[in-house]
Every structure is written in C-alpha cells, then in structure tokens.
Amino acid sequence: MKKIDRYAKPCITIALFVLSGSLAFSQKKAGDDKALKADLYKAKKDAIEFLSDSTTVRKFGKMADSIWHFAETGLQEFRSSAILIRALQQEGFTIEKNVAGMPTCFVASWGSGKPVIGILGEFDALPKLSQKALTPYQDPLITGASGHGCGHNMMGTAGTAAAIAVKRSMVANNLSGTIKFFGSPAEEILIGKAYMVREGIFRDVDAIIDNHSSSEMQTGYGVSGNAVISVLFSFKGKTAHAAAAPWSGRSALDAVELMDVATNFLREHLYNTHRMHYVITDGGAAPNIVPERATVWYYLRETDERLEEMYKRVIDCAKGAALATGTTLDTIKVISGIHQKHSNRGMAEAIQRNIELIGMPEWSESENAFAKALQKTIGAEEKGYNVKVSPLKEPSAVQTGGASTDVGDVSLIAPTATLNFPGAPTGVIGHHWSTVTSGYGSAAWKGLNAGAKVIACTALDLLTKSKVLEAIKAEFAEYSKDHPFRSFLPGGTKPPLDLNRYLIEN
Ligand SMILES: [Zn+2]
C-alpha cells in the first residue's frame, strides 16, 4: 500500500513543511494515495504537527530514556509512572492514582462525555537484563540489575505523547468526547491489567488502542497468544539434620521436585497449544538441613477454553507429590490469571489506515550501522532497521500457543487492537540484552514518535468518525455473545505488591 507524499501536493504542503522542520524525525517519502490524503484532515494534521515538533520529540525521547535508566520491575515503577503522570498533569489531564490496589497504576483523563477512547501504556522492566545502551555486544550497565528487555520504556511514553497530542487537537478543533490514558503497571509479570479489568476501570470505554515496541510497524486482529495462570505452590514438611537423623524429616523440596516430575509427565497428555514452565523460588537453606518449606512458581499457558482444565490437573500433581513425600500442600497462591488476546478487526483496520498514513521513520546511517553490528553479534540478518510498514496481519489458521499479554483481559471488555511500532532493529530478541541496548537514543525516539502519531491519529478517527466507531462496537457486541468475560482470578486475589521486592531481596 502506498503512503502519502508528504512533499508533493500543495493541499498538505504547509502543514508538512512544519512537520519536516526536524529532518531527523521526518517519515519516509512515499507514493501518492488519494484515500490517505483525504483522511489527513485538520485534527490529525494538528496532532502530527505537534508530535513532529523538535521540542516535543526531544521531550518524549528523553522521557523514554529516563524510564530506560530507572528500569523498574513490575509494581515497583514509582519513578517511571511519576514521570508520565507529571507530563499528563501539566497538560490538564485529571489523574486518578493508586488504581485497582496498585500504587503505580493510574488513569489520566481529559474531556467529557462520549465517546471515550482509551490508550494503554506500560513502563515496567525485566529482572537481570541490565545492559549498556547502544552497545552491540553483551555488557551489563550494572551486573544483576534489571533492564528494559521488552521496550516498555518507549511504550508508556508513546501512549502518553499520543494522549497529549489528541488533547491538544481536541482543544484546537473543538472536538467533544474523552481521551483516557491507562498507566498499566506490571505487564511483564502479566498482572496489571487483570486487576484493572476486575476493578471495572475500563467499563465506560468505547474503544482501546494498545501499543508495543517491535521491529515492525504493524497491527492485526483475531485471537493470539495464550491465556495464563501464574501460581505459586508452597509445601510444608518437617525439618531435621539431613545426615544425623534424615528419617525424622520430611522434605518440602522433595515435594516440589516430585511435583515437577509429575507435571513433566503430564505434558505428554496435554494439547500442543499448552506451555508450562516453572522456577523454584524457595528450595531450602542448606543441603544439611531438611527443607521445611519449599515453593515452586508455575506459568500455565493454554487457550481460554482449556486453561482451567490444565490447571486442575497440575493441582493434582501437587497433591500427589505431597502425599508421596509425607508433606502438606500448604498454599496455592494465584498471582495472576489472564485471557488470550482477542483483537477487534475494525480497530485493527482503523490503526492500519494510520500506519499507512504515517509510514516508517527515516533511519540515519549511524543508526543502521549500529543495528547491523548488533545483528551480527546475535546472528540475525545484517539488514538494519525495517524500512516498510507491514500489511494488516490476519488471524493464523492454526493457533499453536506461545507467549501472553495482560491486554488479553482488556480485549474482552472493550474493542481493542495493538499497534506495534518500530522501536528495535529486525532480528532483535525479546526479553534479551539486544532489546535493552537498542531501546535508547535517536532510533528509539523515532520509533516511539511514529507510534505516537499512529495512536493519536487513530484516536482522532474514533472521536470524529461515529460510523467507524459504531461498526467497531457492533462487531465487539456480536463477538462478546460467544466470548463473555469471566476473570480467571480467584475471588479475593490481591495484586502481589511485594512480588518483585521479594524476588529481588531473595
Ligand atoms: Zn512487552
């Protein structure tokens, strides 16, 4: 699909002269497409112009770099959320803090009445992924510290920049409706949005635009990823001297190990859509003391339909292990439970139109040189950054499992789709130092800026084109008949505010 030629036709030349003021952040020149040009109406031009201004680019770029440096893990993102809140507050957004029982969760709203358009934004890091910026080989900034291995430093920032651009355009063009930014903590541990949804904070939202950093500029629709139950199994045994009187002890670690053996045998009889992985978070203090307590943390992943059946069978493995070892299954603590992502087609099509309108950033020679050096180190094809936007991704015919996102729960509450923006070179690996090193500096600024433009333009379409929004809502209402939402969180489950604190300290 062609993109607009930003420099060719007089009808858009004036606005685009301003846009191209900062050459480093201009988008690619492209072909001529009447439909896209007609879609570049004033409210969208205003948002693009604001986001293209060199002061704006720098402000949000620096913000993403700061969050990169903070590298705060899930539910500990105090400085990261504060920096986004401050930017939104300065623009007159009303801020609700400490949402859904999570101190780093917030909702920023501007405007009033319908429609209500939501933008999601994450900002948490991953443990032990510290890495120096723009360094094409593994070299931790602080050994053992956390790092932004999934680009979330750019994502919360892109969503915030977009929300502010939309608000400014609403003011300039006298548009009615409400724009909301959902500051969503702890996505990496699949927690934040499950609790936000359960709290009902998306109840009045008509449509939601999610975003994620990627090497592509892309969106899609249909069911993707896996649902998850994240759960800790803790066993209690009886301690004893492991050499002098082992017969009087009952090892809780034995129970954990036997449970793991049982679940590994269970795999043979599960659907190939499943994923199951665990870490032992507490396996005792020393070999010469029979462990009185032991805990194993499981991620159980399956389709929405099969997840709970698999979970029951894993509980049976735990019970069997306790019986065999003479220990007790002390607690089963569910940390989170989330659904597969069900992306709305109308939303994805609305995002896709704006992907084609905005196009890819123009990468500099030095950015591509860094990308190629990094690609060489990690064994990826040495082709630098992507230069073309991707076509609309359709649902895959065969669902074969995979990773998960807590956006899943949101997608069953309101029409939702995700924009992937180009925050990394091609071939870079997620949850890996190669993502950390490339998510900083000029190329990251360009990627998140292009993402913010697509999000802002999509939000403005949804605010101003009532027929488009009505069609999206009708599709969602029809789909919801067969996919009513029911939280996977057991009643009374609370966000584990001390989870990362516990993991870091231990
Ligand atoms: Zn992520």
Q: How many CA atoms lie within 13 A of 405 on its CB side?
A: 23
Q: Which three-class secondary structure state does DSSP give residue 335?
A: strand
The residue behind tokens 């896209």 is 36
Q: Alpha-carbon distance 224 to 302, whole Å?
A: 11
Phi, psi of 456 (to 5 degrees): -60, -45
Report CA(193)–ligand 1 centroid distance (Å).
13
* 291 and 206 share one domain: no
Rounded-to-integer distance, Cα 253 and Cα 149, Å: 32
pLDDT per residue over 376-419, tens digit each?
999 999 999 999 999 999 998 776 668 899 999 999 999 999 99
**Global pTM exceeds 0.75:** yes
* 443 SS3 class: helix
What is the model's pLDDT at position 27?
Answer: 56
Looking up residue 272, the CATH number of its domain turns out to be: 3.30.70.360
Helix%, strand%, coil% for the chain, nearest 5: 45, 20, 40
Cα 493 to ligand 1 centroid, rounded to whole Å: 24
Q: DSSP letter string over 245-258?
A: -GGG-B-HHHHHHH
* CATH number of the domain enclosing 371: 3.40.630.10
Number of domains within the chain = 2
Is the same domain home to 374 and 312?
Answer: no
Distance 104 CA to ligand 1 centre (A): 17
Q: What is the pLDDT of residue 40?
A: 84
For residue 228, the CA-to-ligand 1 centroid distance in Å is 15
502: in domain:
no
- 317 and 296 in contact (C-beta within 8 Å)? no
Asked whether residue 494 is domain-assigned, the answer is no
| 503 in a structural domain | no
Instruction: Kindly state whether residue 499 falls inside one of the protein's structural domains.
Output: no
Residue pair 2/388 in contact by the 8 Å Cβ criterion: no
CA-based nearest residue to 488, from 310, 313, 330:
310
Task: Note whether residue 500 is domain-resident.
Answer: no
**Which residue shows structure tokens 């030095």?**
366
- Tell me which residue of 172, 123, 127, 129 sits closest to 151, measured CA to CA: 123
Distance 191 CA to ligand 1 centre (A): 12
Distance between Cα 423 and ligand 1 center (Å): 12
Per residue of the chain (506 residues), give pLDDT as tens: 334 333 333 333 333 433 443 333 555 444 457 777 777 899 999 999 999 999 999 999 999 999 999 999 999 999 999 999 999 999 999 999 999 999 999 999 999 999 999 999 999 999 999 999 999 999 999 999 999 999 999 999 999 999 999 999 999 999 999 999 999 999 998 899 999 999 999 999 999 999 999 999 999 999 999 999 999 999 999 999 999 999 999 999 999 999 999 999 999 999 999 999 999 999 999 999 999 999 999 999 999 999 999 999 999 999 999 999 999 999 999 999 999 999 999 999 999 999 999 999 999 999 999 999 999 999 999 999 999 999 999 998 776 668 899 999 999 999 999 999 999 999 999 999 999 999 999 999 999 999 999 999 999 999 999 999 999 999 999 999 999 999 999 988 999 898 776 554 44
The Å distance, Cα 212 to ligand 1 centre, comes to 7
- Are 207 and 332 members of one domain? no
Q: How far is the CA of 465 from the centre of ligand 1 (A)?
A: 30
Residues 116 and 252 in one domain: no
Residue 289 maps to a domain: yes
Measured CA to CA in angstroms, residue 12 lies from 39, 458, 479 at distances of 11, 19, 39
| CA of residue 358 to ligand 1 center, whole Å | 23
Beta bridge partners of 422: 214
Together in a domain, 353 and 469: yes
Range of the domain at 133: 10-223+341-393+406-482
For ligand 1, the distance from its centroid to the CA atom of residue 152, given in whole angstroms, is 6
Statement to judge: residues 326 and 375 lie in one domain:
no
Domain-embedded: residue 2 = no
The DSSP element (H or E) to which 354 belongs, if any, is helix 345-358
**Is 446 in a helix, a strand, or coil?**
helix
Tell me: do 465 and 362 sit in the same domain.
Answer: yes
